[in-house]
Structure formats: C-alpha cells, structure tokens
Amino acid sequence: MYKILIVEDDAVIASSIERHIATWGCEVKCATNFQNILAEFAEFQPQLVLLDISLPFFNGYHWCNEIRKLSKVPIIFLSSASDNINIVMAMNMGGDDFIAKPFDLEVLTAKVQAVLRRAYDFVGQTGLMEHRGAILNTSDATLTYQGNKTELTKNEYKLLQTLLQNKGKVVSRETLMTKLWETDSFVDENALSVNMTRLRRKLEETGLTDFISTRKGIGYLVQ
C-alpha cells in the first residue's frame, strides 16, 4: 500500500482527492500544519506528495526544496497557475509532474499511478525520524534542522537514533552502551559520557539546545 501526502490548503479539494485516491487502496493523509510541512512529511513518510503551489506561510516551491534536502520521494505539483513559467519552475525545483487545476480526478489518479510505477519497484520507506523540527535521516546518518544538514559519526547516530526511538522515555546508560558497542561485555561508562557530550555539542551547533535531557544516575531522554 502506497502512502500519499496531500499538501493542499483548500479543504474541499484536499478531501475530494483523499477520498478518490483512497478507493484505489492507497493510504492518504491531508497536511494540516502548513507552517511545518516537513514535520508531517517525516512523521507520515509518504511514497508520493501532491503539493499545491499557493499555500499559507510558505509556497509549494519552498516545501519542495525542503523535502528535496531529505528525500527523492516523487512530488506532483497542483496549481491553477498553469502557465509555462510555473510548470518549468516546478520541474526545476525537483517536481516529477504538474497537474493544472481544475482537473479530473481520474486523470489525477492515472498520473499518480504512473509516477509511482516509475519511482518504485517495491514500496520503499523514506527512513526519517522527526522531533521538534529536527529530522534524522536513517539512510545516510544526517541530521537536518531549519534547512541545515549535519553529518553524524557512527556513535552519534546510534545514540540519537536510540533516543528518538524512545522519545519521551528515559533510556538507561546500560541500554545506550549496549547499543553503541553491540556487546554485553564491560565498557567504561566514561566512553558513553564522551560520546554524549560530542553529540550534544553537535546538536547545539545546529541550533538544538537542551534537546537531550539527563536523568542523573539513570540515563537520557529527548522530550
């Protein structure tokens, strides 16, 4: 089952697209937080995005550019501005197709199915984890925040991934040490502290202060 994210601020249009595409067996979600489409994208992890150009706060070109920093997921632009300039701009920004409004829902569905066939041999996953606007890409061990991408070391990535998998919960030091070194043998606890300090410093450099909290004598958590 393919997952499709609809980024359309006209509720009538969005709901009609959602109902129609859902009848073809796809899981469909309509975006609601137009100030932070990336968070919804990362949480839902769609295989295709239907993206209106005219949106509140930031236009579709902006969100296409932001999504392209994280993913190669197919993007189909929707717009009533179907002049050549907008079509060319949509393609140059990383769009895979352009559909002019008003459109026939059967034509829309046919284009969606065609793009999905071209893009996937199987249903893939985008491999993204999001929290407080920070997005961890599990495919290349990078962290993106406010448009800035930061590369993580192997240990930094393992620590952050484990904490995000358990966000809101305290992860014990023992669990983190086992995850880091994939062993039950004794490892100096100071090594964990050093790696955690490096991760926190890198998070702060990207603008994420107080992202990881310490529970003295117990472990760490993100919340």
Q: Note the pTM of the prediction, 2 decimals.
A: 0.64
Tens-place pLDDT, residues 1-32? 789 999 999 999 999 999 999 988 889 999 99
- What is residue 52's predicted lDDT score, i.e. its pLDDT? 92
Evaluate whether 41 touches 35 at the Cβ level (below 8 Å).
Answer: no
CATH topology of domain 3-119: Rossmann fold (3.40.50)
Place of tokens 């990881």: 212
CATH of domain 128-221: 1.10.10.10
Tens-place pLDDT, residues 183-204? 444 456 677 888 889 999 999 9
Which of 37-51, 79-93, 95-109 is least confident?
A: 79-93
* Pairing mode, strands 148-151 and 142-145: antiparallel
Average pLDDT, the chain: 86
Evaluate whether 163 touches 171 at the Cβ level (below 8 Å).
Answer: yes
Residue 93: count of CB within 10 angstroms of its CB: 19
- What is residue 82's predicted lDDT score, i.e. its pLDDT? 66
- Rounded to the nearest angstrom, the gap between the alpha carbon of residue 10 and the centroid of all alpha carbons in its chain is 23
Q: Mark 136-152 as b/e (b = at least 16 C-beta within 10 Å).
A: bbeeebbbbbeeeebeb
Where exactly does CATH 3.40.50.2300 map onto the chain? Answer: 3-119
Evaluate whether 62 touches 79 at the Cβ level (below 8 Å).
Answer: no
**Alpha carbon of 95 to those of 53, 86, 138, 207: distances in Å?**
11, 11, 23, 30
- What is residue 212's predicted lDDT score, i.e. its pLDDT? 93
Tens-place pLDDT, residues 111-164? 888 888 887 754 445 578 888 888 998 878 899 998 888 999 988 998 999 999
Does the pLDDT of residue 182 top 80, yes or no?
A: no
Where exactly does CATH 1.10.10.10 map onto the chain? Answer: 128-221
